[in-house]
Amino acid sequence: MFSNTMTFAGRELKSYFNSPIAYIVIVLALVISGWLFFLNFFISGQATIRGLLTGSMPLVFMIFVPAITMRLIAEEKKSGTIELVVTLPVTDWEIVLGKYLAALVLLTITIIMTFTYPITIGMLGDPDGGAVAGQYLGLFLLGATYLAIGLFASGITANQIVAFLTAIVLIAAFYLVGNFVVFFPGPLASVLEYIGVNYHFQNLARGVIDTKDLVYYAGMIFLFLFLAVRSLESRKWK
State the residues that interact with other proteins by CB under 8 A: 3-4, 7-8, 11, 14-15, 18-19, 79-91, 235-236, 238
End-to-end CA distance of the chain: 27
CB of 8: closest distance to other proteins in angstroms? 8
Q: How far is the CB of 30 from other proteins (least distance, A)?
A: 24
Q: How far is the CB of 162 from other proteins (least distance, A)?
A: 20
Report yes or no: 199 and 179 within 8 Å, Cβ to Cβ: no
Contact 66, 153 (CB under 8 A): yes
Please state the φ and ψ torsions of residue 237, each to the nearest 5 degrees: -70, 130
Q: 21-38 vs 92-113: helix axis angle to the nearest 10?
A: 40
- 7 contacts 99 by C-beta, under 8 angstroms: no
Between 52 and 95, name the residue whose CB sits nearer to other proteins: 95
Beta carbon nearer to other proteins, 79 or 116: 79
Please report how close the Cβ of residue 80 comes to other proteins at its closest, in angstroms: 4
Calpha distance 38→71 (Å, rounded)? 32
> What minimum distance in Å lies between the beta carbon of 82 and other proteins?
8
Report the residue number, 212 or 238, with the smaller CB distance to other proteins: 238
Sign for the CA dihedral angle at 197, 202, 203, 207 comes to: positive
Number of H helices, E strands in the chain: 13, 0
Given the complex with other proteins, which of 88 and 208 has the nearer CB atom?
A: 88
Of 21 and 59, nearer to other proteins (C-beta) is 21
Strands (E), the chain: none
